[in-house]
A and B are shown apart, each in its own frame.
Chain A
Amino acid sequence: MSTGAAVRFDRVAKTFGTRAPGDAEAVVALEDVTFEVGEREFVSILGPSGSGKTTCLRILAGLTGYDRGSVTVRGKPVTGPGRERAVVFQAFNLFPWKTVLENAEFGLKLQGVPLAERREQARTYLDLVGLGKKFERHYPHQLSGGMQQRVGIARALAANADILLMDEPFASIDAQTRELLQDELLKILDRAQKTVVFVTHSIDEAVYLSDRVLVFRPRPGAVASSFEVDLPKPRWTYRARSDPRFIRIREEAWEALRSGMLAVAESELAPSCI
């Protein structure tokens, strides 16, 4: 067993909707998922719908249990949420009755950090994600999706977790804002030094952001392949998205994704064709 891993999945399996074995309703979400994430590594989980990538992240966040295998964070089994992990959600999940500042300080408040101190920290991170003082008293619904997710990121960063779990955080944000936010995320991480597990169905996003990409295949969800992204960093300083290496890696990722999806499509089609 390697010791340097921040996160380790070992033959993890998860089935939904079953109490008894052999239940026809049961959906196998994950089967034999094994991977590691190193300290300060940015790893994307890339896969189509139904490949269990969000389930994987929820298990890692401690929000969903698993049936078999083991999930460890720095060697300790995951039995629930932990302070060393913070989640950024696809639907932002800001508390609508709290202001921007109150949302950002949420994790610190739960940790019992005194008001003045947590306000200061929350402001620091709001500033870092590009939300100045003039927005701190706004309510979430007064902000655009992109700005709401900035608050979501600030909330996760402010909680002082060093492992960030991001569940398709930019999926419901318009394409232009998404690219801006991707750049800003990289800049933030350059300063904040976090381990990141990033779930996405966008190949471009996975390649652009990650050190390593895990390609998941669907039904049942499992790791199909894994590859390193050897694009030079920092990537926002040059036009990485149109770099020939980016395009090559993108093609490879697409091939890996496609073969996984085709295998499933064939196995699903087969019975009905007989």
Chain B
Amino acid sequence: MVSLARWPLGTVGSVSGLASVRPRQRGSAYYRVIRVISVVVVLGGWEVLGAQINPVFISTPSRIVVALFALIRNGQLFEALRLSLLGIVLGFSAAIVVGVPLGILMGRNRTAEAALEPWVNALYVTPRVALIPLLLIWFGIGFEAQLVVIFLSSVFPLIVNSYAGVREISSNLVDTARSFCATERQLFFEVILPASVPFIMTGLRLGIGQAVIGMIVAQMFLALSGLGKLLVNYGDFFKTDYVFAVVIVIGVLGVILTEGVKVLERRFAHWKETERAFS
């Protein structure tokens, strides 16, 4: 029997689960060394190469670190992060509140499915960035417009995954609940909802990534605020080291948010993961 401590390995529906399928040929220390060497070689090469050419092109890692500290010290980074996080929290929360119930409704109700599916499918595959000129016309260039972009970016993965979650529920489990005289309400809260949780969590994980992309795009092209504004401003002045510093911050922000969702995933959808590990 596999111990419970193994649960955190891999994630629901992610590519990282594939790693365990590959044959293990060496100890994990070997791969750790390779990882470190890779980072050191690339950064070291960059430092050496970057110092020999115009800093406007690729800058150097050391300059980037200096720029990062400068941004922290002058308060620009903190202010930009505050605005960006506020946007994400508000926009993504709205996406959850709208997307999850809508997806579940589509999965449970044939009429709603027929009415909404064409729109959801069409918008899901349309890059939401393409809507920016329209949003500019409709919502102007304020913080609200930014929220709309974040919302639109993240709501579709949430709808589509919640919908899939409800559709995938085994009729056996529904029959079982019915055989124990479940009311419609009990059926929903005891079976439909818990069974869809792993899918909803996948929707959250994909949605938060989209939300970060939407936020940066909106800040660069609509609102000129937050991290996107820093990118545009420093880019305009060819301050490559500052641009890189902001890019790094955005990357770290994305990783932190995604990992946060993964923690939720492991907390609420662990049974799906272990089910997979055993089958």
Q: Which A residues are closer than 8 A to B by beta carbons?
A: 61-63, 80-83, 85-87, 89, 91, 93, 95-97, 106-107, 109-111, 139, 141-142, 159
Contacts and interface: CB of A to CB of B under 8 A. Distances in A.
Interface in B162-187: 172-173, 175-183, 186
A62 B1 contact: no
12 contacts: A63-B175, A63-B178, A81-B181, A87-B179, A96-B272, A97-B272, A107-B181, A139-B274, A141-B274, A141-B275, A142-B274, A142-B278
B139 interface: no
Given A89-B172, A93-B173, A95-B173, A110 B181 contact: yes
Contacts, number: 66
Interface string B171-210: 0110111111111001000110011010000000000000
Given A63-B178, A107-B180, 9 more contacts: A82-B181, A86-B180, A93-B175, A96-B271, A97-B271, A106-B177, A109-B190, A110-B183, A111-B181
B172 A93 contact: yes
B275 to A, nearest CB: 5
Nearest to B269: A97
A127 B177 CA distance: 23
B8 to A, nearest CB: 16
Interface in B124-172: 172
A215 to B, nearest CB: 26
Interface string B252-279: 0000000000000000000110110011
Given A89-B172, A91-B172, A141-B275, A81 B178 contact: yes
A93 B182 CA distance: 15
Nearest to B4: A142
B172 A95 contact: no
A111 to B, nearest CB: 8
A97 B274 contact: no
Nearest to A96: B271
Chain B interface size, under 10 / 10 to 19 / 20 to 34 / 35 or more: 20 to 34
Contacts of B179: 61-63, 81, 85-87
Interface string B34-76: 0000000000000000000000000000000000000000000
A141 B276 CA distance: 9
Contacts of B274: 139, 141-142
A97 B197 contact: yes
A61 B191 CA distance: 19
Contacts of B1: 142
Contact of B176 (A80, A83, A87): A87
Nearest to A139: B271
A97 B194 contact: yes
Contact of A110 (B175, B180, B197, B275): B180
8 nearest CB pairs, A to B: A93-B176, A87-B179, A107-B180, A97-B271, A141-B275, A93-B172, A97-B194, A96-B271
Interface string B225-259: 00000000000000000000000000000000000
A155 B195 CA distance: 19
Nearest to B1: A142
Contact of A81 (B173, B180, B186, B271): B180
Contacts of A86: 179-180
Contact of A83 (B181, B186, B195, B271): B181
A142 B275 CA distance: 8
A95 B271 CA distance: 10
Interface string B1-31: 1100000000000000000000000000000
B13 to A, nearest CB: 16
A141 B172 CA distance: 16
B195 A97 contact: yes
Contacts of A93: 172-173, 175-176
Contacts of A95: 173, 176, 190-191, 194-195
Contacts of B2: 142
B182 A110 contact: yes
A87 B180 CA distance: 8
Contacts of A109: 190
B225 to A, nearest CB: 42
